[in-house]
Structure 1
Amino acid sequence: MTKTAIVTGASSGIGKAIAMKLAEENINVVLVARSEDKLTTLAKEINNKEGANALAIPTDVSKREEVEKMVKEAKKQFGSIDVYINNAGLMLSAAVTDGQINDWEQMIDVNMKGVLYGIHAVVPEMKERKTGHLINIASVSGIEVTKKSTVYSATKFAVRAISMGLEKELAHTGVRVTNISPGMVDTNLTRRHTIQRKPLAPEDLANAVFYALTQPTYVNVNEITVRPV
C-alpha cells in the first residue's frame, strides 16, 4: 500500500528536496507552504514522473484552522497520513537587543506553533492506527546559540524539546518521532548569512529523512544532527 507524507515548507529548499526524494520513492506527497505558484509548479513536476503523486495545498502553518483544513483535504485525497514532516521555518532578526518583536512573533508562530498544530492534527489517527512517523526539522541553532540567534535558537530548542517529549508520550503506540538538526544548508533562508565552509545541500537533509523513514518498524531514530565537514 502506498504511503502518504505531508511536507510543510515544501515550496523550496529542504522541504522541496524532501518532497522530491519521497516522490521518487513512490510515496504520495502533500505539498504545504504559503506560495501557491511554487507549490503548483512543483506538484506538476512531480506528477509528470512515473509512479509519483503530489497534491499542493497552500497553507499558513501558523494558523491552526488552515493546518486542520489542509490535513482534512489530504486525507480526502489519499486516505490516512503516514508521515508528517514539520519543515516550515523562519529565520528572521533574532537578537533580543535588536528588539524586532514582529520578527520574534513570526518565528514563534511558524517555528513552534506551526509544529504543534501539525502534530495535533495527525497524531490522534496515527495512535488509533498504531502506526505513523513524525519528523521535525530543527537546527544546530537549537543546540548552540550565537549572539545573533537568540530568539531563533529558542524556537529550535523548543522543536527539539517537543520532539524529545513527544517520543516519550508516544512510546509503545507504534508512532515514531525523529528530530533532525541540520547545520548550514544552501537555501534562500541562509544565503544572506556569511558562510565559512561549504554548506550542506538540501538533498543531504532529504537523505537523512529517508534514512529515518526506512528503518524497521521497531527502530525509532530519535535524533539526527547533520553538519558540513
Structure 2
Amino acid sequence: MPSLHDKVVAITGASAGIGEATARLLAERGAAVVLAARRGERIDAIAREIRETGGRAATCVVDVTDAGDLRRLVDTTVERYGRIDVLVNNAGVAPISPLADLDTEGWSAMIDVNLRGMLNGVAATLPVFREQGSGHLVSIVSVAGLSVSPSMAVYAATKNAVRTVHEGLRRESTDGVVRTTAISPGYVRTDLADSMADPRIREQTRENMAAMGIPPAAVARAVAFAVEQPADVEVGEINVRPTVQA
C-alpha cells in the first residue's frame, strides 16, 4: 500500500461522510490531515480518534463561504505541519428543487458553498502552492453535472462550474507546480439529502442512497489514488458511482 507520510492534507466538510472518510483513510496511510468544518466538536472527536490510532490530525473550524476562514485553514495547516500539499475541497450542499419553485435562497446557498467555497480555497492555497513549488487541489464534484436530471439544474450548474475552474487552473499550471483532480461521485451513503429543500426529492434521494449507495470510503480511495501519484502524474478526473446506477 502506498505511503503518504510526506503529505499534508487539509479537508473541508470533514465532519461526516466523504470528508470524514477521506481524513481517516489518508491519515491511516501516513498523511498529516487537518479537518475543517463548521461542527467543531465533531471534527475534534474525529481528529482525536485518528491520533489515538497513531495518526497525525488537527482541526480548524471553517465556513467555506468565508474567504477569511479558508485563509485561516491554510495558515493553521502551515503553522502546524510546515506546509500544505493538498486541499480537498469537499464541503457542499444540495437544496435542490424544480426551478419553478423559485427557491432563490437555495440557489444562492449552492452557489456560495459549492462554487464560491471552492474558489475561496483556490485563493487561499494557490499563493502557498506557488511559493512551495508544488500543490494539489482535489474537489469533490458530482456525476449530477454529467447528465442534468430534473430539479438539479442549479446544483449541476455549480458542479460544472467547479469542473470549469479546475480545467482553467490546469491549463494555467502546465509548469508542473499545481495539480488538479475533480472527483465525481454518484450515489454515496452520506447526509447530503438533509440539505434538500423539497420533501419528495429528499425522501427519494434517501431511498436511492439506501438501495444502491456506495460507502464514503469508496470515494476516499479515489482521493488517495490521485494524491499518491508521483509529482509528474496528474489524475484529472475520476467518476465513482455504484455499478447499478443508471
Q: Shared fold (TM-score greater than 0.5)?
A: yes
Q: Deviations over 1:57-115 (max 9, x none)?
A: 11100011111122112211111100110000001134221111111111111100000
| Partners of 1:224 and 1:171 in 2: CA distance | 20
Q: Residue 103 of structure 1 aligns to a residue in which SS?
A: helix
- Give the alignment partner of residue 111 of structure 1, picking from 107, 114, 117: 114
Alpha-carbon contact 2:21-2:216 (below 8 Å) kept: yes
Write the distance in 2 (CA, Å) between the matches of 1:92 and 1:199.
19
* Of 125, 129, 137, the match for 1:126: 129
SS in 1 for 2:70: helix
AA in 2 matched with 1:228: P
| Match in the other structure for 2:45 | 41
Q: Does 1:167 align with 2:181?
A: no
Residues 64 and 117 in structure 1, CA contact (< 8 A), matched pair in contact too? yes
- Residue aligned with 2:181, SS: strand
Q: Which has the higher helix share?
A: 2
Segments of structure 1 that go 5 or more residues without pairing to the other structure are none
Q: Which residue of 2 aligns with 1:205?
A: 219
Q: Do structure 1's residue 138 and structure 2's residue 141 form an aligned pair?
A: yes
Q: CA deviation at 1:174?
A: 2.4
State the one-letter code of the partner of 1:221. V
**Residues 1-229 of structure 1 aligned to structure 2 (within 5 Å):** 2-50=6-54, 52-190=55-193, 192=203, 193=205, 194-195=207-208, 197-229=211-243
Query: Does the 8 Å CA contact 1:139/1:181 hold for their aligned counterparts?
Result: yes
Distance 1:167 1:109 in 2: 23
In 1, distance between residues paired with 2:56 and 2:228? 19
Q: Quote the offset at 1:24 in angstroms.
A: 0.2
TM-score, normalising length from structure 1? 0.95
2:197 aligns to what? none
Q: More displaced, 202-211 or 87-96?
A: 87-96
**Alpha-carbon separation, structure 2, partners of 1:106 and 1:94:** 13
**Alpha-carbon offset, residue 216 of structure 1:** 2.0
Please list every run of at least 4 consecutive aligned residues from structure 1 whose deviation after the TM superposition is greater than 3 angstroms: none
CA contact (8 A) 1:135 1:177 kept: yes
SS, match of residue 185 in structure 1? coil
Question: Is the 1:95–1:151 contact (alpha carbons within 8 Å) kept by the matching residues of 2?
Answer: no
**Inter-partner Cα distance in structure 1 for 2:113 and 2:232:** 31
Contact 1:5 1:29 in 2 (8 A): yes
- Alignment partners' CA distance in 1, 2:161 and 2:109: 15
Count of residue correspondences: 228
Q: Distance in 2 between matches of 1:174 and 1:37?
A: 35
